[in-house]
Amino acid sequence: MIRESLPLPERGVELGLVDFGGAGPLAIVSHANGFCASLYEPVAARLRDRYRVFAFDSRGHGDSSVPPPPAAYEWNEFVADWIAAAEALCDRQGVDRVELGIGHSFGGTCLLAAAARRPGRFGALALLDPVVIPPPGERSGAFHGEGSHPMAVAARKRNAVFPSRDAIRSSWARRGVFGDWRPEVLETYLREGFRDREDGQVELKCDPEVEASVFELGTDFDLFQEIPALETPALWIHAGQGNFPLGLIERAAGQSDEITLESLELDHLMAMTAPDAVADLVLAWTASRRDGRREAGREVRETRTTKQEIA
């Protein structure tokens, strides 16, 4: 796992980049709100026999630039960063497209929108429980500008500074959210998601105010408006133990014939709790697509041969 940076001068930011290695066509991973690229190493480990895998820290996260909130964290800004990052990595690798884009939570939502706005730039998408809220006319409560977004409230209450990584480990390992994480993923988060301070303490790289701004500004983003333009095949993995009702997800995914929907009995943070199951499903889906293309190509070749014989 090699740490680098990806300058995007046209976007006014520099993104932290992780090169997970591997052989094959280009794959890029985008993380969930509040986290960082390095956490997806277990997923990348399953993919890199088939792909060259990179992941990037979104603006305000990990080792990326931190523009002042809130306007810099409108979701259209993240979509534009996804497009710019994809183009920059394609140029760097000497390829025409990202063969597989993988996005988790809000990262999946922004990836889907990026692919819809840039047909041909992505070969396939794997969307890990992307954030979906009802269309504007159907929203209520905090999702309709009434009151505070509950996840933003929780983020602002979060401690940003801790005495040490050992103190975090002993506290978080017993908590529900982190207690279900694969141990090595939690260790990666402790190592990569926090920075050392001069006073000997450690602090979150993603400031709680940035995380809260991302949650709040997500209510202004209408994914239902983006999906009909999608021309890229996509596997949408719904978290059956998550917070997004399957009926709403079926409505959203049903707007595009390019989307294959799978619902797994996993929680929203599936990439941290069950990375092998997630990666294996993605690999099985991409393999079935390749097999389908090969079968279609074989049928075309056989048809051409038959026509030549008749002639």
Give residue 148's pLDDT. 77
- Tokens (6 digits) for 304: 């051409």
Residues linked to residue 262 through DSSP beta bridges, in sequence order = 237
Q: Is the pLDDT of residue 291 over 90?
A: no
Give residue 175's pLDDT. 67
Residue 204, helix vs strand vs coil: strand
Q: Is the pLDDT of residue 310 over 90?
A: no
Average pLDDT of the chain is 91
Whole-number Å distance between alpha carbons of 181 and 189 = 10
Give residue 309's pLDDT. 46
Residue 12, helix vs strand vs coil: coil
**Which single residue is written with the structure tokens 């988060």?**
189
Phi, psi dihedrals of residue 2, rounded to the nearest 5°: -105, 125
Q: What is the pLDDT of residues 147-157, one digit of tens each?
A: 578 999 999 99
| Strands, E assignment, 198-253 | 202-204, 234-239
pLDDT above 90 coverage of the chain, percent:
82
Q: What is the mean pLDDT of residues 261-281?
A: 97
Q: What is the pLDDT of residues 215-254, one digit of tens each?
A: 999 999 999 999 999 999 999 999 999 999 999 999 999 9
Cβ burial, residue 62 (10 Å; 0-12/13-18/19+): buried
Assigned CATH topology for domain 2-310: Rossmann fold (3.40.50)
The ranges assigned to domains in the chain are: 2-310
Q: What is the mean pLDDT of residues 9-18?
A: 98
Give residue 187's pLDDT. 94
